[in-house]
Amino acid sequence: MKNGWKQVGVGDILQLEYGKPLDDEDRKPDGHFPVYGANGEKDRTDKFYCDKASIIVGRKGSAGEINLTEEKFWPLDVTYFVTFDDQQYDLRFLYYLLTTLELTKLARGVKPGINRNEVYSQVARVPPLPEQQRIVGLLDEAFDGIASAKSNAEKNLQNARALFSAGFGGLTSHSEQRHWPRLTVAQVAAPKKGSIRTGPFGSQLLHSEFVGEGIAVLGIDNAVANEFRWGKRRFITPEKYQQLKRYRVNSGDVLITIMGTCGRCAIVPADIPTAINTKHLCCITLDQSKCLPGYLHAYFLYHPLAQEFLAKHAKGAIMEGLNMGLIQALPVLLPPLERQRELVTALDSLKQETQRLESIYRQKLAVLDALKKSLLHQAFTGQL
């Protein structure tokens, strides 16, 4: 350990004081002072409980979360606030120190809570006040740079996602779309009974009838991030499938979730084995001489006309009242097949580029987080 540093218990350098409840009539959105809950500012008030800068530590709920306040404030009863001897310790140094202790790992119980005695028992290394202030200066400067870099990476990540979401707008024009006929999903579905369907209901398919292997049963967990993925493995026997084969899912079918997290969409891949869908999915078998699965998939998710229709007709929030009738009536602007293929190819390329950019920016964010942790480790082991 470097000269002048000492190893002590956290309870020897700071105290955690209990916050206090605040009556509803004392809470004002435009109040002068912040009201802190366990995970940050929750309200405003014209009253204050503490009149000097401190650190808020979540006591219940978001237990162990840490926030720095540098003004008069009110800490609620789900928090602790820190008091200390400012002749020996620097506020921001203590804030960074508590950050390294990962106090969230001390939380216990159904509604997680932290006992302050457990915090006090944590071991810390502390230098003299001038060294604390030097370390804080270095960390502040480094973290300002990291925060700026993270902000830029997060904006770039959002821009990459927006690039794909705006795909239709960027690839077609309103003047072009005016010449496309307006049909409905029911009119572009295959001309056969059951081309738009949900799965079996009630006693037709019970969980007790699932077996270890056999014919796959697809559910909402197979349409994740608007792509087909293998989720939970569910199977029925070939004998049961014979009773339910009218619910068969075919490659190229478009799946839309109508229960749980509604509105997710996926295309059944070409290599799918024999399978049926559950009542949680609407399955659309298209007349592919009219409409390509890739086009309907992208149209349902991103075209303004589809989104406006759902917003107007769905019950509650946009994706809370999806049903088969609503999906059947969904208007579809339908370009010629060749133009559909061009759009699907362009959107696929755009999606791949978006995913590539997302991967780059996620890696940058991970590197920045790792750099921050490394700097904190160096600071509190005397290496900075």
Question: Is 224 strand, coil or helix?
Answer: strand
Angular region, 214: left φ>0, alpha ψ -120 to 50, beta rest: left
Shared-domain flag, residues 204 and 322: yes
For the chain, the straight-line distance linking the first and the last C-alpha, in angstroms and rounded, comes to 13
Q: How many helices (H) and strands (E) does the chain have?
A: 11, 21
Q: Which residue has the tokens 């602007």?
A: 333
Range of the domain at 71: 6-126
Residue 110 resides in a domain:
yes
Shared-domain flag, residues 236 and 318: yes
Shared-domain flag, residues 74 and 140: no
73, 37 Cβ separation under 8 angstroms: no
**Which phi and psi angles does 192 have, rounded to 5°?**
-150, 155
Number of domains in the chain: 3
Shared-domain flag, residues 293 and 363: no
pLDDT tens for the chain, residues 1 to 384: 577 889 999 999 999 999 999 999 999 999 999 999 999 999 999 999 999 999 999 999 899 999 999 789 999 999 999 999 999 999 999 999 999 998 999 988 888 899 999 999 999 999 999 999 999 999 999 888 888 888 888 887 777 667 666 666 667 888 888 899 999 999 999 998 889 998 887 678 877 788 888 999 998 888 888 889 887 888 989 999 999 989 999 999 999 988 777 788 999 998 888 999 888 889 999 999 999 999 999 888 888 888 888 878 765 444 455 788 888 999 999 999 999 999 989 888 888 887 888 888 888 888 888 888 888 888 887 777
Angle at which helix 304-313 crosses helix 293-302, to 10 degrees, equals 60
Residue 1 resides in a domain:
no
Shared-domain flag, residues 198 and 144: no
Residue 19 resides in a domain:
yes
Shared-domain flag, residues 75 and 188: no
**Which phi and psi angles does 176 have, rounded to 5°?**
-70, -45
**Which phi and psi angles does 369 have, rounded to 5°?**
-65, -40
Residue 320 resides in a domain:
yes
Shared-domain flag, residues 63 and 89: yes
298, 344 Cβ separation under 8 angstroms: yes
Q: Write the single-letter amino acid at 319.
A: M
Task: Assign residue 192 the CATH number of its domain.
Answer: 3.90.220.20
Shared-domain flag, residues 322 and 342: no
pTM of the model: 0.62
What are the CA-CA distances from residue 71 to residues 21, 74, 137, 216, 355 (Å)? 19, 10, 20, 60, 43
**pLDDT for the residue numbered 317:** 43
| Helix (H), strand (E) at residue 58 | strand 54-58
Residue 159 resides in a domain:
yes
Residue 17 resides in a domain:
yes
Shared-domain flag, residues 122 and 134: no
Residue 268 resides in a domain:
yes
Shared-domain flag, residues 34 and 117: yes
Residue 345 resides in a domain:
yes
Q: What is the dihedral of CA 39, 43, 48, 49, to 10 degrees?
A: -40
Shared-domain flag, residues 165 and 188: no
Shared-domain flag, residues 203 and 309: yes
Report the C-alpha gap between 173 and 331 in whole angstroms. 18
Q: Which of 94, 126, 158 is a domain's end point?
A: 126
